[in-house]
Amino acid sequence: MRRSSNAALFWPVMILVTASDFITKKLALESLVPRATPHNVFGEWFRLALVRNPGAAFGLNVGIYSRYIFMGLTIVALVILARLYRSTRPGDASRVIALALVCGGAVGNLIDRVTSVDGVIDFIDVGISEITRWPTFNVADMAVSFGAFLLAWVLWEEDRELATDVSPVPVARESGEA
């Protein structure tokens, strides 16, 4: 059975990502106060600072309906990812892990969107100075980013394999004999 052989890897990874995201966000809410105040961990280049992001990646915001638009987009993405999962060959660990990472991260951020009008909880702040900082992110964002990169690589490799497996069909030549 295709799905059950991959399920032993997919579900633990997805649940681990979602649970890690949930727990770290809960800890951030409880301990990173006041909000948006940076707490240095490794100098100024790695800090923790509690912020809420009502938009999507990199602060992308589409107005007052961002919450509902991004909830809808997340659900559509999860449906597409479920179809990719169902089409995954048994034992294709790289693809299964990639899908589990993206799904776990998507579910983690979806939980925030459903449970709070304030948006997704972000708290990891990296950069060199106030000018060169990466947008604040969370465990779910890391899982989605890494999983999406891995999935793109896996799908690219699958396409390359398909392209090399297709052998050219010999074309019959007309003989020039008369």
Q: Residue 46 in contact with residue 126, Cβ under 8 Å?
A: yes
Catalytic residue among 21, 112, 125, 141: 141
Which 8-state DSSP code applies to residue 89?
P
Active site residue 122: yes
Tokens at 150, concatenated: 């891995």
Task: Please report, for the chain, how many H helices and E strands are present, in that order.
Answer: 4, 3
**Is 92 a residue of the active site?**
no
Given 21, 112, 122, 125, the catalytic residue: 122
From CA 153, how far away is CA 19, in angstroms rounded? Answer: 26
Positions of E strands within 4-160: 39-42, 46-53, 120-126
Question: What residues act catalytically?
Answer: 122, 141
